[in-house]
Structure 1
């Protein structure tokens, strides 16, 4: 991958990573669980938390430039090889599941044009026809990325501009049609019969999901033309994205009442656009969703391939994953990632999981890697007693601990099972190369304890 990503390319990459399918379903997703006041508080917490988290990553990128923005290299350096491996595994698995969810939602959206009540072709994106279409798209993007990042980044800039147009049009029309009296109905969500704190907590995994990818420019820091562009692109993308999320969510309450929004079919933005523009508004929103998701898929595939590559350079994953082709693309890591996505698509067909299920799973898998980033900065800041860095790291840790609490016990148990699957990959890695991940006795004990807890988790979930 050539070192040719400028500020625009980096910003579009981060924007495209965060602005995916989630924004088109936000009105319904949020209306079903929270009131306008709870949403304002929830977005404020998330915005502040994401800024702390992003600043933590940026500080570590400056303090430890040799790690090249690798969030799992921080975990390895601060807490040992095993924790580093599981941080890489969790982050990579999140990227894989996110990509699967994008493929599923693309063909779910296309079904609006093709399916009829009597003939389901693509359905919720999990029929065999949808899986076949997803597989074709998967391998088309795969061979595009084998040509290098520069080609993909140019396409990504164009796609990012295309996805912003329908969002800005939606916001503009919603401002014109906004009804303050309708917005003020049940501001506290009394009709939900849910305490305000519970409403805020319930929004957390959704708000986290739509911000996953904020670290995109940091992960690709070694590909940036100018090191200063990494911080600029990250915060520029956060400001733009948070503004869009706030406006899309809150303006919707001024178009329809909360109960009607909560009962809408997703992508709910398409339903609101029907009110604003008629049938063409619906078609416009669906096309915007398809373009948006394809852009996010491209960005996340770039990042997903970088994870095994960087992990291999840090001797966490097999060394072969770090090899690049003549276009400087991490070809082995790309093959490994996309074969895994293909296997997941087959599982989707067998289990009939949909986009919302995948959203929750991906959000759970990223929590531990994000927490370890803040914990690592806290650890090294105590040694040097840097008050500013301590403050930033504490803010990041508090936010991720709050997210772990908000995720709920059952979701944490499920994510624990997926982390335990990493043991299989770890064993296979050790068989192929005995010199990788030389664990001490304490780390081996941790592996055994994790295995025992995972058996309990399986029993508890099944029960």
Structure 2
């Protein structure tokens, strides 16, 4: 897309792209790690979980890096790769699934902001009271009008928020490292008095969806590839941002095992990092981390708002979404995409009022919706390596890229399986009606809606959505 006369002002530096990646990944999840891992596993299981998740997501990051170099003409990131590799409808499904995942991630942020305020002001409760929903809606539309004033300005604010929210995390790591009790760490190492392989496997599996959630956002630089000053900055920002966040996640998790018994970690309220900090330095430490959480989640919310609107806008520019979603305002902000995005977030917020465990549901649904687009990116990288497209004959990098893409593909499939049937059915309920946007776009282009394979795929999604609705109706699954 031509950015117009303001093109220079709308480009992102390498540091801004790194901040987008870090800002998208560092949000609510990292502040909940001590209790989440304490309930699931000991330190050894945590190490194994991070090795698996770190390896899988690093391979995905390297796939993004490779695709940015090999397919520079695909400037719509996660959506464009799925479309180029597997056709219009699969590309649309990737875009819509990722977009809905971004919207759900924003709901997670809004609920957690109000839930954290509820620790100090009971009127907010757990983040789903009437006052909490109303104030979250006010925040939603305030950010909406901020972003309408220009993506560049919103991204600059996100960069500042990224640095601000990392400071409390670094302070926590420094204090926990200085006060580390090696005997406590040893007692928490296995997570059980009589460890065996089956128990360790069970412990590790119970952490998998959580690890997916804290890595969601790794594609931030790729989504904004059309704004990058240099194509090389996209892959660099993705890998550096990922490695930075991985180090933070591992240190926060493992150091917490050296501060409190595992049972005490498991009982800590959200944000559990605040409870660990308070046990080390007193009440001020817990308040400081809680303030850091608010800054972190606000920044994370802004990152997801930007990503959600951008992927919808990019798909519309490439004529896979209706043309009204490609509309920009005078500030070059994707106005059409922003309005639809925030209306959907508002609807999800209202639904969260009736959900029994709204925060947990939104968190897991975010992971479930983004895993399909991740799988398609990895599969496209594997396809290029398999066919040799973009590679010179005998290129050594082809084998290495194929291995990395293969590992990333297997990892994504394994995570989808670990999520279970419930979240596949719930995802289908969101995918199926979203296809209406695809049909509108096809009608605008005067094209046949589906080819034969796409018709079969849509029928499968529709059947799964119907099964999901029936399961909800009879109480077989619940929200």
Unaligned runs of 5+ residues in structure 2 are 4-8, 392-397
Query: Does 1:25 find its partner at 2:32?
Result: yes
> 2: CA distance between counterparts of 1:422 and 1:155?
31
- Work out which of the residue numbers 204, 207, 210 in structure 2 matches 1:203: 207
Q: Following superposition of structure 1 onto structure 2, how do residues 4-43 of structure 1 map, counting pairs within 5 Å?
A: 4-43=11-50
- Scaled by the length of structure 1, the TM-score of the pair is 0.94
For the 8 Å contact 2:76–2:314, the answer to whether it is kept is no
For the 8 Å contact 1:17–1:300, the answer to whether it is kept is yes
Q: Following superposition of structure 1 onto structure 2, how do residues 286-365 of structure 1 map, counting pairs within 5 Å?
A: 286-365=290-369
For the 8 Å contact 2:428–2:462, the answer to whether it is kept is no
- Work out which of the residue numbers 274, 278, 303 in structure 2 matches 1:270: 274
- Work out which of the residue numbers 136, 140, 143 in structure 2 matches 1:141: 143
Q: Following superposition of structure 1 onto structure 2, how do residues 10-409 of structure 1 map, counting pairs within 5 Å?
A: 10-115=17-122, 121-191=123-193, 195-384=199-388, 386-409=398-421
> 1: CA distance between counterparts of 2:315 and 2:269?
40
User: Shift in Å at residue 424 of structure 1?
Assistant: 4.3
User: Shift in Å at residue 425 of structure 1?
Assistant: 4.1
23 and 192 in structure 1: CA distance in 2 versus 1, 3 angstrom threshold: farther
Aligned residues: 457
- The 3-state SS of whatever aligns with 2:206 is helix
> 2: CA distance between counterparts of 1:458 and 1:320?
30
For the 8 Å contact 2:188–2:257, the answer to whether it is kept is no
The aligned counterpart of 2:6 is: none
> 1: CA distance between counterparts of 2:379 and 2:231?
24
The aligned counterpart of 1:457 is: 468
133 and 192 in structure 1: CA distance in 2 versus 1, 3 angstrom threshold: farther
- Scaled by the length of structure 2, the TM-score of the pair is 0.91
For the 8 Å contact 1:316–1:437, the answer to whether it is kept is no
User: Shift in Å at residue 166 of structure 1?
Assistant: 0.6
User: Shift in Å at residue 192 of structure 1?
Assistant: 9.4
The aligned counterpart of 2:424 is: 412
> 1: CA distance between counterparts of 2:45 and 2:433?
36
> 2: CA distance between counterparts of 1:114 and 1:294?
18
Query: Does 1:443 find its partner at 2:454?
Result: yes
Report the RMSD for the aligned CA atoms in angstroms: 1.9
User: Shift in Å at residue 396 of structure 1?
Assistant: 1.1
User: Shift in Å at residue 157 of structure 1?
Assistant: 1.8
The CA deviation string for residues 110-163 of structure 1, in whole angstroms up to 9 with x for no partner, is 111112xxxxx1111111111111111111111111111221122112211110
User: Shift in Å at residue 446 of structure 1?
Assistant: 2.6
- The 3-state SS of whatever aligns with 1:210 is helix
- The 3-state SS of whatever aligns with 1:195 is helix
